Each structure stands twice: as C-alpha cells, then as structure tokens.
C-alpha cells in the first residue's frame, strides 16, 4: 500500500506531528488487515472501491468504535488516497462518496478557576528540583494553553525574559509567541538559575528532556488532588486556559492565535462552555428561571 512512502510524505511535506503520524500509521495498518482478511487485497490499491471502504466503516461501527474515531480513520484514508492520486497510482479516490457518521459533540473538559487556584497556591508539591519542575509544568500549561508536544520541547533560549514572551513550535512546525505574566517569568528565571539549566527547560534529574508519559503522570497526579474530572491530561489544562480566558472576556480571535489554531471553528468549541456557565448563572439568579 506504499505506506512507508506515505508516512515520509506526512512527516517531510505535511509536517504532521509525531502523534498524528502514529495515528495515521495505525489506521492504515487496521485497514490493511481488513483488506487482506475480507477481500484478499494486499498491494493493489486500484482494487479498493467505495463499497469496500464503506464496508470497513460499517464493520468499525458494528464493533462499537466511537464515531469520532471512525471519522479520524476516514480522514486518514482521504489523505492517503489523495497521495495515491498524486503518485499516479490511482486516478480517482474511493472516498468521494463516503459520508462520515455523525458524532455527538462533546464539551471540552475543564477545571474550575477556584480549583486551579487551590492547585497552584495550596497543594504541596514534592521538595527540591522535581517538585519545582512539576509545579512549573502545570502552571505553564495553564497560563499559556500550550500543547504537550510544545511544552516538552521548550529550550531556555525560547524564553525572552526581558520581553516576557515564550516561543513554541506548534503543529506543522509553525512558531508562535505567547505572552507571559511577570509572576511566571520570575518563577522560570529563578528555576533556570537555581538549577543551572542551559538546554531544555524541563528535564529529569539526569538532564535529558522530560518525555510524554512522565508529563502525563505529573498532570494526572496533581489534578486528582483538586478535581474529580474524568480526564486529567495536559490537554485538560489547555481547555481550562481557553475556557477561563473566554469567561473573563478575552476576544475569541486572540485565543485562537494563542492556542495556535489554524481556523476559528476549532476555538469556537470553547464558547459552549461559556454559554453553559451563563445558563447556570441565569437559572440560579433569575426569579422566573
């Protein structure tokens, strides 16, 4: 299925993140197994029809795969077959008639402002380098809204201490500058000087940069102390950043830029949380509600 060449294309030309590329690779492997088992198709991409793709989608839904996950797999195949057309392997994509299943919109999970304040001001972190690092990780997620992949790759020279800015490398290698409060700037400066850091901002005791699972564990551990939300991931802190910004009157276009979204629709999902909060206030305060 020319998978390896396609994966190189995603990395080199489309500049997809490592996480996205892994997801695309997994989707293609699953589709390839289906083709082999159900239709005895191995390498002949031209034999893949609209009906075959539709039967795979139907089988996924019958197995109880979430429609959101199915839609991501459809997106994978759409990108894959466009690449096949570009490579002149096929002349038409079998995805043209595919209709994506409707998925229920889920509101982004976020943490309440008083809970975040409790986490940053009252919860006791471990002593020494590890505790200071873990608290800064959580605080930086919350005050900037950056992604996990962006955080673990921050280097000392990415922080402009004099202008209170931090530079991050987002999806598809797009750089953006995010303002920092004087409080976090001072904390970062103290942390860097105290531990004589000169490369990556967040490292383990051995000096190598933190890895994904470690940061997940840190965030989950401390969010669990102040909140009962089901999801306790770094992305929840990103959702929290955006929701709190909107709730406090920030312009949605400014939030879009801060989050590094390529289009406004990705940011508008956070307005639903704001509307739900207004509904709650209305019901609690209005005598006829």
- Alpha-carbon span 93 to 95, nearest angstrom: 5
According to CATH, where is 1.10.443.10 located in the chain? 113-285
150 vs 200: CA distance, rounded Å: 12
Is residue 270 part of the annotated active site? The answer reads: yes
> Average pLDDT in the 128-132 region?
97
pLDDT tens readout for residues 221-246: 999 999 999 889 999 999 999 999 98
Q: Does the pLDDT of residue 94 top 90, yes or no? A: yes
* Catalytic site includes residue 19: no
Exposed/middle/buried for residue 279 (C-beta within 10 Å: 0-12, 13-18, 19+): exposed
At 185-230, the pLDDT tens digits run 999 999 999 999 999 999 999 999 999 999 999 999 999 999 999 8
Beta strands in the chain (DSSP E): 159-160, 165-169, 175-179
Contacts of residue 34, Cβ cutoff 8 Å, sequence gap at least 6: 56, 59
Q: Percent of the chain beyond pLDDT 70?
A: 93
What residues does CATH 1.10.150 cover in the chain? 3-86
Residue tagged active-site, from 14, 176, 221, 235: 235
Of 54, 221, 261, 272, catalytic: 261
Average pLDDT over every residue of 88-106: 87
Sorted by sequence, the CB contacts under 8 Å of residue 76 that are 6+ apart come out as: 23, 24, 27, 28, 31
Q: What gap in Å lies between CA 231 and CA 45, rounded to an integer?
A: 39
Q: Which residue out of 147, 232, 239, 244 is catalytically annotated?
A: 147
CATH 1.10.150 fits 3-86, yes or no: yes
- Tell the CATH topology of 113-285: hpI Integrase; Chain A (1.10.443)
Question: For 142-163, what is the mean pLDDT?
Answer: 96
Q: Which of 238, 239, 244, 256 is catalytic?
A: 238
Q: Which of 171, 176, 221, 277 is catalytic?
A: 171
Residue percentage of the chain with pLDDT more than 90: 74
CB 212 within 8 A of CB 204: no
Does the annotation mark 171 as catalytic? yes
**Beta-ladder partners of 10:** none
Beta bridge mates, 176: 168
Active site residue 261: yes
Interacting residues of 200 by C-beta distance below 8 A, sequence separation 6+: 152, 153, 154, 155, 156, 208, 209, 210
- For the question of residue 221 being annotated catalytic, the response is no
238 is catalytic: yes
């Amino acid at each position: 299925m020319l998978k390896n060449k396609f994966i190189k294309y995603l990395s080199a030309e489309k500049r997809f993140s490592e996480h996205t590329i892994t997801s695309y690779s997994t989707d293609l492997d699953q589709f390839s197994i289906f083709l082999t088992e159900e239709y005895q198709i191995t390498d002949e991409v031209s034999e893949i029809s609209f009906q075959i793709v539709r039967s795979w989608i139907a089988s996924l839904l019958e197995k109880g795969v979430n429609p959101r996950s199915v839609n991501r797999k459809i997106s994978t195949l759409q990108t894959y077959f466009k690449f096949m057309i570009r490579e002149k392997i096929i002349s038409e994509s079998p995805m043209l008639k595919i209709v994506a299943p409707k998925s229920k919109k889920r509101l982004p999970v976020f943490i309440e402002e008083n809970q975040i304040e409790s986490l940053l001001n009252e919860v006791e972190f471990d002593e020494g380098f590890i505790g200071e690092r873990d608290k800064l990780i959580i605080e930086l997620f919350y005050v900037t809204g950056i992604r996990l992949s962006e955080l673990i790759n921050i280097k000392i020279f990415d922080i402009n201490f004099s202008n209170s800015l931090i530079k991050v490398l987002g999806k598809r290698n797009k750089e953006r500058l995010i303002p920092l409060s004087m409080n976090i700037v001072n904390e970062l400066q103290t942390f860097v000087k105290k531990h004589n850091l000169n490369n990556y901002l967040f490292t383990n005791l051995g000096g190598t940069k933190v890895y994904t699972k470690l940061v997940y564990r840190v965030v989950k551990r401390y969010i669990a102390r102040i909140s009962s939300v089901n999801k306790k991931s770094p992305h929840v802190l990103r959702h929290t950043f955006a929701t709190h910004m909107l709730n406090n009157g920030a312009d949605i276009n400014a939030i879009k830029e801060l989050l590094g979204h390529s289009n406004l629709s990705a940011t508008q999902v956070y307005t639903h949380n704001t509307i739900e909060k207004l509904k709650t206030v209305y019901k609690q305060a209005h005598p006829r509600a």
